[in-house]
Structure 1
């Protein structure tokens, strides 16, 4: 937690410098802090346009913050230790285990090497593909710069772009190449490095872990179902998809389904979406990506565990079973705790912002969920936030990236030894 806070503080100081601004003037510190938090927490919400307000120096600072935030503070610290040829201590291995959501420290350093290798390889491939496409629209140097920036931003599910005027990728709504490359980068970044490692070893091991099966299954279901819902609700909306061809509508529906999984990229004007679509995107943003990934939210595995628990209760079964494996009671409790803490956080923040900001309730709920899920999608509220509103969104992005449970562990009292157990009691449920 301290590591992330330190990176954000350093980033905010750099972004506040006159050299970081395209006009050569100092950026207000609260806006620099907001941008640094958004970049480090790979969110994408901005109070100033990245493409026009910041200079090349400022944009590179943002890019470095995205890379550090996406890989994780502990992963980057371990990477520096490799370069310095320093031995990784047991304590550091235990922290890495928690940082990467692993069940043991066995092979944790090897996994860190893989994380860095996968990230850099996928980002390099994305940068080459984007550069080839942008060569048709701009000079070679600018195309290469845009290609690298957007590949790193989209793979890390950050959602920052350089297109200018807060337009996102709306200019490429019908471009299949840009849409498909963007979606692949977002999905690969959101699956999690553990799943990518499993998929790489699939030819040798010939089996996937339960975690990978659940992540891949839930990701596929959410993307397909999300695209179907967006396509149905927005098909005839003249302000979004109504004037697009069938192929463009399908592309737009899929990208708007993939993006709320914490990426923050949009090809449609979100403020013009129907309210039903906007609320559905709130649900997708709340669920988020998968554990050990560059994304946020309560995570796909948490949602799967909750669905499994509901199904087991309805069927009158004691065990929660996924893919013929029984989940321990501890895992179900953890999923329930994460979800309730996240719900409470979103509800409290929405109530406070409803008092400080003069906007519609759905706009505020959308922005709050986007910040907590480190998504970065916005209906325009972020640009009009008051000082109090900016501070609340900054805190939400920070907590959302670390996870409410991690914050609870870090700030809460350490549990002592349990000396007794209470007698069992009964209450009526439902």
Structure 2
């Protein structure tokens, strides 16, 4: 037994030497890829010509982590601290992190005309949430085409619109940066106070929120809609996502407006149309995007709780958004409904949901909740701050939203390290959990049933 580990290590070394590859599960490879991208971003931010003002190594690492995980939490102002080169690096990391380095790896393999190995096929299947290898290339190409089309169209509209106020080069660069950030559901902005300057600007608000919704609804949904174009022929999952996304955005919009319309520090000082635009913006952006058009530090606690719920739910699967995902949330609601009304099956759009899917949703809910609890507990030990501010920061980090009650720059170093870890785990963790659930071995042992009291 004592010789087992050295023997295994020897065989592993021989395999790596022979094949040039270390066998690892897709989530491990994906996590390693994201971490390598973070280290690259850290190195680039540390270069003197990336900085207008000196930043430390940890500050560079934090910013790179926030960009790659498409979160948007920052401990310094990127518009004042980073040069034009540094800002290009920043938005490039957002693009790579949002669309996923796997997409680009698969496209590179396609371009070179190489066949994908079984290991790479498993990696791509996991990243694209597909079950068929034949769909990998088509999905990868669709991701790039859809992304570039949406980002390009939004950037053109914003460039022409902002040209009225800024010189054309400035308008174009700002439009490109913000449309990429919006589509990839990152709250990074180069404007002071995020998008507060455009709080009652309908064109800016609708272009940004439209990009956020399209980026967060899921590429499989966008692809299905673009190919079929008729409601009756859409897949049940596509219908579910379209209805649920609209319902969540409208519910958040109504709740925020009703709770804040007479708060002079947020919506109360705005005209009626400005209130509607600000409420819509905050409802959509809470779904893991992170932009703000009002001062969220002045929101009532009830409104803050609404935002946290929206952040916790997040966007769709196979999208640039995070959170537990809309599909998970709806499956859980359907399961609760079926149990309360004594239905034997969990049904959505006249389709039964497999028990494994329900169990996976429960596992995602529990693990994400446990992560938020642990993060909140640790940060409450490190920081002397109102509990709701700490909880809001943790939920924002775990869901990779990027909203903050002006708390991130003032955190102690242990809390900033914690936030960086939560952003990374929030982005990678659910994928790892889903993979482990999908690949677990079924036990052939069966035990007698027993009654356990619950509830």
TM over 0.5: yes
Match of 1:236 in 2: 262
Match of 2:145 among 117, 137, 144: 117
| Distance in 1 separating the partners of 2:158 and 2:93 | 21
Report how far residue 169 of structure 1 moved: 0.3
Write the mapping of 1:193-272 to structure 2, written as runs, cut at 5 A. Answer: 193-203=219-229, 207-272=233-298
Match of 1:381 among 383, 407, 424: 407
Report how far residue 387 of structure 1 moved: 1.0
Q: Which runs of 5+ in 2 are unaligned?
A: 1-30
Aligned residues: 424
Instruction: Please tell me whether residue 312 in structure 1 is matched to residue 331 in structure 2.
Output: no
- 2:399–2:426: 8 Å Cα contact kept in structure 1? yes
| Distance in 1 separating the partners of 2:180 and 2:366 | 32
Instruction: Please tell me whether residue 333 in structure 1 is matched to residue 348 in structure 2.
Output: no
| Distance in 1 separating the partners of 2:247 and 2:151 | 25
TM-score for the superposition, normalised by structure 2: 0.90
- 1:338–1:405: 8 Å Cα contact kept in structure 2? no
| Distance in 1 separating the partners of 2:434 and 2:43 | 28
Write the mapping of 1:411-422 to structure 2, written as runs, cut at 5 A. Answer: 415=440, 418-422=443-447
Q: Which runs of 5+ in 1 are unaligned?
A: none
Match of 1:393 in 2: 419
Instruction: Please tell me whether residue 301 in structure 1 is matched to residue 331 in structure 2.
Output: no
Instruction: Please tell me whether residue 2 in structure 1 is matched to residue 27 in structure 2.
Output: no
| Distance in 2 separating the partners of 1:81 and 1:106 | 14
Change in Cα spacing, 1:199 to 1:416, as seen in structure 2 (3 Å) is closer
1:324-372 deviations in Å (ceiling 9; x for gaps):
1000000000000000000000010001000101111100111110111
SS in structure 2 at match of 1:229: helix
1:5-54 deviations in Å (ceiling 9; x for gaps):
1111111111122111113x3x2111111110110011111111111111
Moved over 3 A (4+): 203-206, 407-410, 414-417
Write the mapping of 1:19-58 to structure 2, written as runs, cut at 5 A. Answer: 19-23=49-53, 25=54, 27-58=55-86
Match of 2:13 in 1: none
Which structure: larger Rg? 2
Match of 2:16 in 1: none
Report how far residue 210 of structure 1 moved: 1.5
RMSD over equivalenced CA pairs, Å? 1.6
| Distance in 2 separating the partners of 1:261 and 1:205 | 25
Match of 2:15 in 1: none
Report how far residue 318 of structure 1 moved: 1.6
Report how far residue 408 of structure 1 moved: 7.8
SS in structure 2 at match of 1:326: strand
| Distance in 2 separating the partners of 1:285 and 1:7 | 25
TM-score for the superposition, normalised by structure 1: 0.96
Report how far residue 91 of structure 1 moved: 2.5
| Distance in 1 separating the partners of 2:180 and 2:365 | 29
Change in Cα spacing, 1:320 to 1:407, as seen in structure 2 (3 Å) is closer
1:41-69 deviations in Å (ceiling 9; x for gaps):
11111111111111111111111111111
Change in Cα spacing, 1:392 to 1:408, as seen in structure 2 (3 Å) is farther
Instruction: Please tell me whether residue 146 in structure 1 is matched to residue 174 in structure 2.
Output: yes
- 2:126–2:435: 8 Å Cα contact kept in structure 1? no
Match of 1:427 in 2: 452
Match of 1:75 in 2: 103
| Distance in 2 separating the partners of 1:351 and 1:140 | 48
Report how far residue 181 of structure 1 moved: 0.4
Moved more, 79-88 or 283-292: 79-88
Report how far residue 87 of structure 1 moved: 2.2
Report how far residue 3 of structure 1 moved: 0.6
| Distance in 1 separating the partners of 2:392 and 2:260 | 18
SS in structure 2 at match of 1:106: helix
Change in Cα spacing, 1:249 to 1:322, as seen in structure 2 (3 Å) is same
Report how far residue 215 of structure 1 moved: 1.0
| Distance in 1 separating the partners of 2:407 and 2:441 | 44
Match of 1:12 in 2: 42
Moved more, 69-78 or 258-267: 69-78
Match of 1:344 among 363, 370, 373: 370
Report how far residue 109 of structure 1 moved: 1.0
Report how far residue 415 of structure 1 moved: 4.6
